Amino acid sequence: MADAWTLGTAGSVHPIDALNVDCAVDAINQVGFETCYHCGEALPASPVLLDVDGSVKGFCCEGCLAAAQWIRSSDLGDYYRLRSAAGARVDVELSDLAVWDRDDVLADHASPVTGGLEITLLTDGMRCAACAWLIDRALQRVDGVLDVGANAVTGRIRLAWDPARVPLSSVLERLTFLGYRPYLASGAVQEREKLADRRRWLLRLGIAGLGAMQTMMLSEALYLDVNHHMALYTRDFFRWVTFLVCTPVVFYAGWPFLLGAWREWRERHPGMDTLVAGSTLLAYLASAVETVRGGEHVWYDAAAMFVFLLLCARMLEQRARRIASSQVDALARARPALAVRERPDGTRESVPLTALQVGDVACMAAGEAVPADGVLLDEQAMFEEALLTGESHPVAKAQGAPVFAGTVCHETPARIEITRVGSATRLSQLTRLVEQAQAHRPPLARVADRVGSGFVVALLIASVAVFIGWRIHDPSRAFEVTLSLLVISCPCALSLAVPAALAASHGALARLGVLSLRAEGLDSLARATDIVFDKTGTLTRIDPSIGEVQTFGGMSADEALAIAAGLERDSGHPIAAAFASVLTLRTASGLRVHAGQGLSGRVNGAEWRLGRGPFAANQDDDGRLWLGDGTTAVARFTLEERMRAEARVAVNALRELGLRLHLASGDAYGAVERLTRQLDIDDAHARQSSEDKLALVRKLQAEGRVVAMVGDGLNDAPVLAGADVSLAMGEGASLAQRAADMVLTAPSLLRIPAAVQLARRTQRIIRQNFAWAVGYNVLALPLAVMGQVTPSLAALGMALSSLMVTANALRLMRVSVPESSP
């Protein structure tokens, strides 16, 4: 993140003429640290300038400038001091917010509160706590807003407003105006349910903590009475008080474990919860029996500490996963889904997606997604199908050609006649494939469960045997020895071994920029032997780069590039990104975009055209980019896909980790072939449909390999769901992210080898923890069976062994984040 504070010249501002400033900005641009004051993106050739606190700051667009001016005039300038990340770019055209005022949207997502309605929104621009602060302050000043709560961690905004005084759209207008686009969260009911659930867990944790502390303190008094000087009635008084404090801990705080154990018993599958609930209840009930009998020992402290430690582990694990899933929700970007329908008389209306019927005519503006499958009505249009098929170039379609839902209309507006809606579209077929593939995942043996249920059964049998043995040998001590055995083998460490390690590594993964959505993913990633890559959008970037440059008529290639870059720079054209790396001092004036053809403008006093052959240089259209004056050509650019800068390093790192690499792409043979040569991948497949990719993964799995899949598109979603473990790119389609185990939020492939290494370390730590826990039990059990261990010593050993396991797991928190290349 470039530092936006070193910009500008301190002191008074002289009226500098615009050209000079442009040159100055250009010169700085070449150094590469001149960025927009508000959003931190690179400045265009002619930035918008504003005098901020006596120094000139540049802005990338009017939207950012307006946002900054409003923030300053509202006395919220502290935002710029407090923030730790740049804001989000502000789109000058405010998107159509009227949708939010529709009654059906409000009915589904808002809930009545005193004085108005409340809604929870997601936004993708909240980067740090300062953003949350700014949103809070800015929205609270809108007349009619009752309450705002923005949470930067989960990216959610809770907004209560009075619909009688202000429509929701005008509140959201201010939000959009600051660069935060609102999206729909899941329904209000689910949001409230999530929050209530979190609070319940927190209450349990607090009560377990306070209760366990008191229980420990009171037990300590009993433990310290080694020589039994304490009067019996005092001892029993202490025990009854401990019983009182311990009861809510076991039955209220420990309720989730009791419930889980009940479920496991009903399913005839004893697991971790059975173990936890069983030991807790045994320690508690045995203590209660001893208290009534006036027996030798009580073990209330063991029960309370046990519940508390396990709740901590569960909370940690849950928290990591909740943050991950709420961020993915924010990536999913649900909006009130609308399509533009053309009425028979030619006028247009916005309708909800569900209202579209077969035979309707739908219209898309350039850059909008296609709402349903259909056939094209226009002469010609371009569609970006990269997410659906993996094809890297926009596809030109003629009248009558099929157009698919989920593809993006490119360059020109288009009209389609709808042929399939809802669940019949190709997109929905992919969604169904995802569900099927997920259902047929190779079953994963949960090592903890396996060990757990075996352990439980063995332990129960052993304690019955020990009890019978001691009954014969020395009836007075039988009960006490059996209890010691149960306490000492109380599988604290065993049940903490996995959750503690998982919680630590989920946290480390999140810092790496990998969100882990399913707990099993980490385990499979550690065992992966093969990794299958998608090409477009994964190993390569979706936006093109300039390959070959041919010039005609004596112009140098650099000159041609400079002119083209000057034209493209502020055009907002989809291919402008290809020229972003070309440094040029030229700026174009009189720029015009000719939809579907190219651009024209004046550079250095001459009229230029850049675009398709017939338009720019009177040549045949060969799919390349021509530069000319409309009649004669001076240059021809071949655009090709850009490999991600770090792809080679990442692929080599994965190879060193011992993974076999495969490439499966929906793109043509040539492009796949080129990339395979560049990256030196042995096994490549081109022209793969979703089903072909899935078959490839299934074939590998049948050979006994554990397959990891990395992809980004809709067409990868079924494969992502079918592979043993899958990673989706954060910039890709939301369906792909829902199907994957992990989502890469950092746009860097280097995070994949880092994640694999972390997964393997996690596995090692889990094994160490298991070894320790089992070793401790193997050592302590015979001693307990011999009657050599007092229950208090057993409880101490148990606590120490839990601490060991947790400390070992915390070693996973240390992780070095690989530098991502821009």
Partner 1 sequence: MIILLMLIPLSLMLLAVAIGSFVWAVRKGQFDDMETPAIDILREDRPFPPDAEHTEGRGHG
Rule CB under 8 A: which residues touch partner 1? 73-75, 78, 81-82, 129-130, 132-133, 136, 140-153, 158, 160, 195, 198-199, 202-203, 206-207, 210-211, 214, 231, 234, 237-238, 241, 244-245
Question: Cβ 292 to partner 1, closest distance in Å?
Answer: 20
* Own/partner long-range contacts of 261-270 (Cβ < 8 Å, ≥24 apart): 269/449, 269/453, 270/452, 270/453, 270/456, 270/457
- Residue among 12 and 227 whose Cβ is closer to partner 1: 227
- Residue among 238 and 308 whose Cβ is closer to partner 1: 238
Which residues touch 107 (CB under 8 Å, ≥6 apart)?
Answer: none
Chain centroid, CA 452 distance in Å = 31
Question: Cβ 71 to partner 1, closest distance in Å?
Answer: 12
- Residue among 110 and 486 whose Cβ is closer to partner 1: 110
**Alpha carbon distance 574, 611 (integer Å):** 12
Q: How many beta carbons lie within 10 A of that of residue 197, not counting itself?
A: 12
- Residue among 120 and 425 whose Cβ is closer to partner 1: 120
Cα–Cα distance list, 760 to 403, 524, 755 (Å): 44, 10, 9
- Residue among 135 and 492 whose Cβ is closer to partner 1: 135
Question: Cβ 125 to partner 1, closest distance in Å?
Answer: 15
Q: How wide is the angle at C-alpha 495 spanned by C-alphas 494 and 499, nearest 5°? A: 120
The token duo for 385 is: 């199908």
- Residue among 142 and 650 whose Cβ is closer to partner 1: 142
The token duo for 478 is: 């039988």
Query: Do 773 and 497 contact (CB within 8 A), yes or no?
Result: yes
The token duo for 379 is: 């002469």
- Residue among 135 and 798 whose Cβ is closer to partner 1: 135
Helix, strand or coil for residue 167? coil
Question: Cβ 206 to partner 1, closest distance in Å?
Answer: 5
Question: Cβ 273 to partner 1, closest distance in Å?
Answer: 25
- Residue among 129 and 424 whose Cβ is closer to partner 1: 129
- Residue among 132 and 565 whose Cβ is closer to partner 1: 132
- Residue among 196 and 398 whose Cβ is closer to partner 1: 196
Q: How wide is the angle at C-alpha 59 spanned by C-alphas 55 and 62, nearest 5°? A: 125
Pairing of strands 606-611, 530-533: unpaired
**Alpha carbon distance 55, 13 (integer Å):** 7
Query: Do 682 and 714 contact (CB within 8 A), yes or no?
Result: no
Question: Cβ 179 to partner 1, closest distance in Å?
Answer: 18
- Residue among 215 and 425 whose Cβ is closer to partner 1: 215
**Alpha carbon distance 613, 615 (integer Å):** 6
The token duo for 746 is: 């950092």
**Alpha carbon distance 309, 305 (integer Å):** 6
Cα–Cα distance list, 252 to 204, 375, 491 (Å): 7, 60, 21
Query: Do 678 and 642 contact (CB within 8 A), yes or no?
Result: no
- Residue among 1 and 439 whose Cβ is closer to partner 1: 1
Q: How many beta carbons lie within 10 A of that of residue 10, not counting itself?
A: 8
Query: Do 488 and 781 contact (CB within 8 A), yes or no?
Result: yes
Question: Cβ 77 to partner 1, closest distance in Å?
Answer: 10
| Closest by CA position to 640, among listed 541, 716, 749, 535 | 541
Question: Cβ 561 to partner 1, closest distance in Å?
Answer: 45
Cα–Cα distance list, 762 to 498, 667, 815 (Å): 9, 36, 12
Cα–Cα distance list, 495 to 302, 359, 455, 641, 769 (Å): 15, 59, 11, 49, 10
Question: Cβ 294 to partner 1, closest distance in Å?
Answer: 18
Name the amino acid, one letter, at 287.
Answer: S
**Alpha carbon distance 643, 540 (integer Å):** 4
Q: How many beta carbons lie within 10 A of that of residue 109, not counting itself?
A: 23
Which residues touch 544 (CB under 8 Å, ≥6 apart)?
Answer: 392, 393, 575, 577, 578, 639, 640, 641, 642
Question: Cβ 224 to partner 1, closest distance in Å?
Answer: 14
Query: Do 798 and 519 contact (CB within 8 A), yes or no?
Result: no
Question: Cβ 744 to partner 1, closest distance in Å?
Answer: 23
Cα–Cα distance list, 414 to 173, 313, 375 (Å): 28, 54, 11
Question: Cβ 185 to partner 1, closest distance in Å?
Answer: 15
Question: Cβ 349 to partner 1, closest distance in Å?
Answer: 33
- Residue among 236 and 640 whose Cβ is closer to partner 1: 236
Question: Cβ 152 to partner 1, closest distance in Å?
Answer: 5
Question: Cβ 231 to partner 1, closest distance in Å?
Answer: 7
In eight-state DSSP terms, residue 730 is: T
- Residue among 133 and 552 whose Cβ is closer to partner 1: 133
| Closest by CA position to 271, among listed 456, 459, 445 | 456
**Would you list the DSSP string of 750-791?**
THHHHHHHHHHHHHHHHHHHHHHHHHHHHHHHHHHHTT-S-H
- Residue among 124 and 136 whose Cβ is closer to partner 1: 136
Question: Cβ 112 to partner 1, closest distance in Å?
Answer: 17
| Closest by CA position to 662, among listed 541, 539, 537 | 539
Question: Cβ 304 to partner 1, closest distance in Å?
Answer: 13
Pairing of strands 380-384, 402-403: unpaired
- Residue among 303 and 744 whose Cβ is closer to partner 1: 303
- Residue among 137 and 441 whose Cβ is closer to partner 1: 137
